[in-house]
Amino acid sequence: MSDSSKRTDPEKEKRKIKSVQKMKEIMTNYYIEAKGAADTGKKVAWITSGGPVEPLIAMDVIPVYPENHGAMIGASKMGIELCEKAEEMGYPRELCSYARADIGCAVTDGGPIGGLPRPDFLVCCNNICGTVMKWYEVAARYYNVPLFILDTPFTHREFPPAAKQYVIDQIYEYIAFLEENCGKKMDYDRMQEVGRLSVEGLRLWQAVLDSGAHKPAPMTAFDAFFHLALIVTLRGTQEAVDYYRQLRDEMQERINQGIGMVPNEKYRLLWDNLPVWYRTKWLSEKFASHDACLVADTYTSAWSGVLPYIDENNFLETMAVAYSQVYINVSLDIMIDTLRRLIKKYDVDGLVMHSNRSCKPYSLGQYDLQKIVMEELKIPTLILEADMVDERSFSESQIETRIDAFMETLKS
Amino acid sequence: MEPLEKLSAVAHDPFAYAQAIQPALEKPVIGYFCSYTPEEMLTAAGAVPFRIFGTRGDISLADAHLQSYCCSLVRGGLEDVLKGRLSFLKGAVFPHTCDSIQRLSDIWRLNAGLDTHFDLVLPVKLTTQSARTYMISVLNTFRAELEQGLNVSISDEALHQAIYTHNCIRDRLGRIYRLKSQNPGKLAAADMYAIMKAAMVMDRAELLEHLDALWADLSAGASEGASTGRKRILMSGGICNHPDIYHFIEEAGGDVVWDDLCTGTRYFEGSVEETGDPVEAIADRYLDRMVCPAKHMGVTARGEHLKQLVRTHRIDGVIFLFLKFCDPHGFDYPYLKECMDQAGVPTLLLEVEEQLPGEGQFRTRFETFIDML
């Protein structure tokens, strides 16, 4: 045994998720392959986090996610520098920090991995925001490559048949776009298999997230933020399926052994919105110091949340409808239904909402959601004003005070 | 009252106008936020389309619903309705444009307490046949919802009539704009502002009468005021709800001779086919007209359009006027600026919120910019 292992705290060691190492390996290999695409002759497509990646996998295209890259930039605390670069170029500071950081990265080849591989084409699905469309227009001009937009109508009260037909039509337009840009035909048998793997991966990911319903929770939302990467980037591959099976089994094992992630879990909280990437550790420790565990969140469950809409036997067409129904492409009324369901399922004592300057479709409306949760469900709520990547919008002392005050309310 | 006086009075206090007109004409007044609202349908339904510009006053009630990083149009519009200033509205229309308006629709529906609420989830990309088919369907649904919500029937005949009225309005506004471009001294900046603002809130039949009378006045003696000696300015952005801005520019030695604004040319450009299916014809105008940056029409359409405008109207300088926190315009700005740099046209960027910054600061910025041209 090395000296370092002698010094580790066995209690802490027991609580560490063992699969983390595997996850890091997979992501490292993925980025190495993506960055080496020019040498292997594989096509690279940039795609939005909520976009349908499955046809890309079926066409052997390497999908690259600027948003995942944005999260890495945030976690590496490199956000300010890169955002400022974009601001120097004229992009207002009020724009999404993923977009600003990524634009800053594109022109400097900076950031944690020296920039993303150049795209051969771009695939943008606006189910998560209108921002991605503008951001991808910028990228399309900068790299001078084709852009496909999958336009997924927002659901205020219903998703009418015409909207359904519109997104289905676009799936075939998407495939035609891929065929043209890849110079080959879609193999629909392969597509069906990718669809099957995607659904299997999503189910396993949901099973991982479901483990948080156990008391004590074997993992927290902060762990989910980390382990989410594969369901975003490698959805539809055997690798993602294998990984999430391993992770689910590990969670089951922890449940069997009664291992919770927060040592003395007393208060169970639900997180809303994207993570504060540069402060996940700090926030995690802060809540844990109050014996509070963030057992679930609205963000990481957004991908598997559309599973009920997908029919494996008609994957392509049902996928189109499913992608249109993701958590932030729906009205506040539908969002409150999801919040109600999560609050009940995970038996939470409080709701923590990250009011994220970068994400207007996620954040505007939170005050109304908060009011409904407090009045109807009698659950205390906390709103933290911050930003997912741009640390200039994070005031540690203010947030610390607010968390302490919120926890006092919960304890009383 | 002279037509210009009447339009200025309406523009000065649109709320008072709407409060008075509703009982007088017995027409429902329907609020809307954006140029993607098919006004022809509202007119055909016997309603008055009333554009909401956002208040310029203090915000107190909207802050309970919206974070600080939300634009003044969304915040101001919500404030107006929560304060009861829009109580004359029968309802409001929310075409899908940006993320903020989309969320405002929910917040509005849950809190405004108006009788009716219409969401038009229009396509965002306007370049494909499937988007056209979908847009036509959305417009047909809107027509049915209007019929239900206002308890009226909208015949094709009424739609054709409304299309004709709105085409005439667009034609007159276009003529007035072109006259201003050809003959900047003919109409003061404040008058242009008043005409456009009134055009978006008045009963459209009444508006057309005033525009016709105004055009008759203007076209008599067309050579007056041909040269002002001022620089030719184009304003590009979203909405401009600050009449003072035009005034300051004029004083600083510039004439706003054309624009690329939602409350300007995007409002009246393009006409709707007066034959054939009226709903398809309305859709086709949106698919043809230059887009707002929240819509997609290829990646260079807006830049090429702006370059064309600058050439056509012999523009000396471009002022970009954005609402702070407006994402679609913010994303397009560096590209549009680059287009202008390439065309050799100097630009000035102004980001505004509910209240303009100090008058002195504003004047100085305009003076410096216009002196440079």
Interface predicted TM-score (ipTM) of this complex, two decimals:
0.96
Which one of B296, B333, B335 makes the best mutation probe of the A interface by having the most chain A beta carbons within 10 Å?
B296
As given in the structure block, the two tokens for residue A282 are: 């700090």
Please name the residues in contact with B17: beta carbons below 8 A apart, sequence gap of 6 or more: B9, B10, B201, B202
Residue carrying structure tokens 């055909």: B44
CB distance A149–B351 less than 8 Å? no
Q: Are A286 and A400 in contact (CB under 8 A)?
A: yes
In the predicted model, is pLDDT for residue A357 greater than 70?
A: yes
Q: What is the spatial distance between Cα B333 and Cα B320, in angstroms, rounded to a whole number?
A: 8
Query: Which residues of A are less than 8 Å from B97 in CB distance?
Result: 130
Q: What is the pTM of this model?
A: 0.96
Query: Which residues of A are less than 8 Å from B99 in CB distance?
Result: 129-131, 360-361, 364
Give which of A385, A294, A358 is closest to A67, Cα–Cα.
A358
Band of the pLDDT at B244, cuts 50, 70, 90? confident
Which one of B61, B65, B106 makes the best mutation probe of the A interface by having the most chain A beta carbons within 10 Å?
B106
Please give the pLDDT value at position B182: 94
In the predicted model, is pLDDT for residue B222 greater than 60?
A: no
CB distance B138–A162 less than 8 Å? yes
Q: At what angle do helices A79-88 and A66-75 cross, to 10 degrees?
A: 120
CB distance B325–A94 less than 8 Å? yes
Give the one of B103, B131, B324 whose C-beta lies nearest to A364's C-beta: B103
CB distance A130–B133 less than 8 Å? no
Q: What is the spatial distance between Cα A387 and Cα A150, in angstroms, rounded to a whole number?
A: 27
Please name the residues in contact with B337: beta carbons below 8 A apart, sequence gap of 6 or more: A90, B320, B347, B349
CB distance B67–A364 less than 8 Å? yes
The number of beta carbons lying within 10 Å of the beta carbon of residue B48 is 27
Q: Which range has the worst mean pLDDT, A8-12, A235-239, B153-157? A: A8-12
CB distance B330–A94 less than 8 Å? yes
In the predicted model, is pLDDT for residue A286 greater than 90?
A: yes
State the Cα torsion A321-A302-A188-A146 to the nearest 10°: 90
Mean pLDDT score, A164-190:
98
Q: What is the spatial distance between Cα A199 and Cα B174, in angstroms, rounded to a whole number?
A: 54
pLDDT digits (tens, 9 = 90+) for A70-99: 999 999 999 999 999 999 999 999 999 999
Mean pLDDT computed over every residue of chain A? 95
Please name the residues in contact with B67: beta carbons below 8 A apart, sequence gap of 6 or more: A355, A357, A363, A364, A366, A367, A385
pLDDT digits (tens, 9 = 90+) for B106-148: 999 999 999 999 999 999 999 999 999 999 999 999 999 999 9
As given in the structure block, the two tokens for residue A152 are: 């997924």
Mean pLDDT score, A133-156:
98
Please give the pLDDT value at position B247: 87
Q: What is the spatial distance between Cα A261 and Cα A230, in angstroms, rounded to a whole number?
A: 21
Where residue B325 falls (left for φ over 0; alpha for ψ -120 to 50; beta otherwise) is left
In the predicted model, is pLDDT for residue A1 greater than 90?
A: no
Mean pLDDT score, B196-217:
96
Hey, which residues does B307 pair with through a beta bridge? none
Q: Are B82 and B61 in contact (CB under 8 A)?
A: yes
- Phi then psi for residue B155, to 5 deg, are -80, 160
The number of beta carbons lying within 10 Å of the beta carbon of residue B81 is 22
Band of the pLDDT at B227, cuts 50, 70, 90? confident
Mean pLDDT computed over every residue of chain B? 94
Mean pLDDT score, B161-182:
97
DSSP-based three-state secondary structure for B102: helix
Give which of A128, A127, A138 is closest to A99, Cα–Cα.
A138
Count of H-run helices and E-run strands, chain B? 15, 8
* Residue A365 sits at the chain B interface (C-beta within 8 Å): yes
**What is the percent of chain A where pLDDT is above 90?**
95
DSSP-based three-state secondary structure for B89: strand
Distance (Å) from the alpha carbon of A305 to chain B's nearest alpha carbon: 21
Q: Are A389 and A97 in contact (CB under 8 A)?
A: yes
Band of the pLDDT at B223, cuts 50, 70, 90? low
Q: Are A365 and A272 in contact (CB under 8 A)?
A: no
- Phi then psi for residue A305, to 5 deg, are -60, -20
CB-defined contacts A:B, below 8 A: 146
* Chain A 136-175, residues with CB within 8 Å of chain B CB atoms: 137-138, 140-141, 147, 149, 151, 153-157, 160, 162-163, 165-166, 169-170, 173
CB distance B133–A166 less than 8 Å? yes
Q: What is the spatial distance between Cα B267 and Cα B204, in angstroms, rounded to a whole number?
A: 14
Query: Which residues of B are less than 8 Å from A162 in CB distance?
Result: 133-134, 137-138, 141
Please give the pLDDT value at position B226: 63
Q: What is the spatial distance between Cα A247 and Cα A245, in angstroms, rounded to a whole number?
A: 5
**What is the percent of chain B where pLDDT is above 90?**
87
Band of the pLDDT at B224, cuts 50, 70, 90? low
Q: What is the spatial distance between Cα B199 and Cα B210, in angstroms, rounded to a whole number?
A: 10
Q: Are B291 and B319 in contact (CB under 8 A)?
A: no
In the predicted model, is pLDDT for residue B353 greater than 90?
A: no
Mean pLDDT score, A211-228:
97
Helix (H) or strand (E) holding A293: strand A292-297
Please give the pLDDT value at position B204: 97
In the predicted model, is pLDDT for residue A104 greater than 60?
A: yes
Q: Are B97 and B124 in contact (CB under 8 A)?
A: no
Give the one of B70, B96, B300 whose C-beta lies nearest to A364's C-beta: B70
- Phi then psi for residue B153, to 5 deg, are -120, 135
In the predicted model, is pLDDT for residue A2 greater than 50?
A: no
Nearest residue on chain A to B332, judged by CA atoms?
Answer: A134
Nearest residue on chain A to B69, judged by CA atoms?
Answer: A357
* Residue A129 sits at the chain B interface (C-beta within 8 Å): yes
Band of the pLDDT at B225, cuts 50, 70, 90? low
